[in-house]
Chains A and B, each alone.
Chain A
Amino acid sequence: AQSVTQLGSHVSVSEGALVLLRCNYSSSVPPYLFWYVQYPNQGLQLLLKYTSAATLVKGINGFEAEFKKSETSFHLTKPSAHMSDAAEYFCAVSEGDSSYKLIFGSGTRLLVRP
């Protein structure tokens, strides 16, 4: 069975600092991995996805994530945090490239201090 673990339910950074949100996955098949962002009282917006084409994936709003098979990780980073990045971030894995079912982590709330 597949699963996702997001380390840290809350992460606080200063504006302009590096953002690092951690995600580890468990999968018996080559995983498809996703990061979504959820702003307060809104739905989920796709930030980026990994499909095995490249290990470093660039997404929207300056975010990127690196797939590391040896570490079963897919951590999300952004070089410089902006106040508008404050939101809930979810890592998710799908059961192979033909599956439409996503398994989500419990989320990490990013707080950005001025």
Chain B
Amino acid sequence: DAGVTQSPTHLIKTRGQHVTLRCSPISGHKSVSWYQQVLGQGPQFIFQYYEKEERGRGNFPDRFSARQFPNYSSELNVNALLLGDSALYLCASSWRTAVSGNTIYFGEGSWLTVV
């Protein structure tokens, strides 16, 4: 089975531009989360969506937005890019059972460089 897939893998944008990152969860997973990982740090939670509804939001400005589609894929949008938005953006999909709770799987990420 395919894991979490993300696109594009690498991209370069100019300050002030807009970017859209895409994610397809593992088949059967209904929850998608987005994380930002700045070089040298651990990932920081941005958003979580479940069944197309936003269920959680991290401490990020309104320039960051996301949505989930009926097929459970997701997009992360960032407007008015700043140099500090340069990071690895990770998408995660989740599967929950009553016995083992949540198991969260990550994609390979999208490397965003803002110049």
| Stretch among A13-21, A61-69, A71-79, A104-112 lining the B interface | A104-112
Q: Closest CB of chain B to A50's CB: distance in Å?
A: 10
Chain A residues in 8 Å Cβ range of B108: 42-43
Other-chain residue from B41, B43, B55, B100 in contact with A100 (beta carbon distance below 8 A): B55
Q: Is the interface of B mostly helix, strand, loop or mixed?
A: strand
Chain A: how many interface residues by the 8 Å CB criterion?
25
Bound Cα distance from A45 to B102, whole angstroms = 15
Q: Closest CB of chain A to B28's CB: distance in Å?
A: 15
Bound Cα distance from A98 to B102, whole angstroms = 7
The winner among A42, A44, A99, A107 for most chain B CB atoms within 10 A is A44
Q: Is B74 interfacial (CB 8 A cutoff)? A: no
Q: Closest CB of chain A to B111's CB: distance in Å?
A: 8
Bound Cα distance from A39 to B67, whole angstroms = 29
Bound Cα distance from A107 to B44, whole angstroms = 12
Bound Cα distance from A97 to B101, whole angstroms = 5
Chain B: how many interface residues by the 8 Å CB criterion?
30
Q: Is A55 interfacial (CB 8 A cutoff)? A: no
Q: Closest CB of chain B to A5's CB: distance in Å?
A: 11
28 contacts between A and B (CB under 8 A): A32-B101, A32-B102, A42-B108, A43-B4, A43-B106, A44-B106, A45-B106, A46-B106, A49-B100, A49-B103, A51-B100, A51-B101, A53-B99, A94-B102, A94-B104, A97-B101, A98-B102, A99-B56, A99-B102, A100-B55, A101-B33, A102-B33, A102-B35, A102-B43, A102-B104, A103-B45, A106-B42, A107-B41
Chain A residues near B (Cβ < 8 Å): 32, 34, 36, 42-46, 49, 51, 53, 90, 92, 94, 97-107
Chain B residues near A (Cβ < 8 Å): 4, 6, 31, 33, 35, 41-45, 48, 50, 55-56, 58, 90, 92, 94, 96, 99-109
